[in-house]
Structure 1
Amino acid sequence: MLLQEIAQMHTALKRRPVIDMARGVLMALWSCSADDAWEVLANVSQQSNTKRYDISEGVLATVRGEPMPLPLQPHLATASDRLHAH
């Protein structure tokens, strides 16, 4: 049990920088706060049944000129619309 918890913490520590970078990209692109960017990732995660890390990888891929994964595109568009409607 303890080894499993340690492994989960190790994975979380490795993935956190990717998520934080994606938050920064969203903040820059959408002129939103860090909390708003976190909420966007959380909402897209819930709506698409995709882990925040995988969404973050998709966001970062767009910075490298790669397309956003098709299944995430409508969810991010909806999140952007919601964010800017406030």
Structure 2
Amino acid sequence: METEQLKEALERRPVIDIVRGVLMAAWSCTPEDAWEILATVSQHTNIKVHDVAEAVMATTQQQPMPEHLQKQLTAAVAAWRARADGRA
């Protein structure tokens, strides 16, 4: 069972890392900030981080993001920006 979970995690990780890069390029955030944004969307939608990343990845292929994910992503980025502005 543990081996299967590890294998699944290794298969899913590249999508998450690519999307972190997309977020970093789009909003000039750090890798940690990009992870925090994905994790926040995941927590507020009760959708696994990998599935959130898949939805973001699909937008790079001109596929629409589900509205509830888009709203949460927008909110997560706004919250990150507010925190980042407070640090400046």
The TM-score bracket by the shorter chain reads: over 0.9
Within the candidate set 66, 77, 88, 1:80 is matched to 77
Within the candidate set 4, 7, 11, 1:10 is matched to 7
Equivalent pairs counted in the alignment come to: 83
Residues 1:19 and 2:16 are matched in the alignment: yes
**Alpha-carbon deviation of 1:32?**
0.3
Which blocks of at least 5 consecutive residues in structure 2 are unaligned? 84-88
State how 1:1-86 maps to structure 2 within 5 Å: 4-86=1-83
Name segments (4+ residues, structure 1) moved above 2 Å: none
Which blocks of at least 5 consecutive residues in structure 1 are unaligned? none
Query: Which residue identity does 1:64 align to in structure 2?
Result: Q
Calculate the aligned-residue CA RMSD, in Å.
0.7
Residues in 1 aligned to 2:65 and 2:22: alpha-carbon distance in whole angstroms = 13
TM-score of the superposed pair, with normalisation by structure 2: 0.90
TM-score of the superposed pair, with normalisation by structure 1: 0.93
